């Protein structure tokens, strides 16, 4: 989290893109729900530190998890 904030230099758009990218890549190798549960507290803290509403980071994060999960069968296992 600190690396993303340092890299973004406080710019919410850059933080949003970084969180989405991180979630998408992680979701390609882990389960989508696990990824979102893991990243949500970090995104919430980033929202508090930057003074933006958490939904600004959470919605793109969820969409990136779905996209990243469909990239491999590991991230989005088929259910019957």
What is the structure's pLDDT at 64? Answer: 92
Written as six digits, the tokens of 66 are 């779905």
37: CB partners within 8 A, 6+ apart: none
Per-residue pLDDT of the chain (80 residues; tens, 9 = 90+): 677 777 888 788 888 899 999 999 998 888 888 889 999 999 999 899 889 999 999 999 999 988 888 887 765 666 54
d(CA 22, CA 31): 14
d(CA 39, CA 29): 14
d(CA 67, CA 49): 27
What is the structure's pLDDT at 61? Answer: 93
d(CA 9, CA 76): 33
What is the structure's pLDDT at 30? Answer: 84
């Amino acid at each position: 989290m600190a690396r993303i904030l340092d890299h973004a230099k406080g710019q919410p758009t850059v933080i949003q893109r970084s969180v989405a990218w991180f979630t998408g890549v992680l979701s390609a190798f882990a389960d989508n729900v696990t990824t979102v549960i893991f990243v949500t507290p970090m995104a919430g803290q980033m929202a508090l530190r930057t003074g933006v509403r958490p939904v600004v980071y959470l919605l793109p994060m969820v969409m990136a998890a779905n996209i990243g999960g469909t990239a491999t069968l590991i991230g989005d296992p088929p259910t019957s």
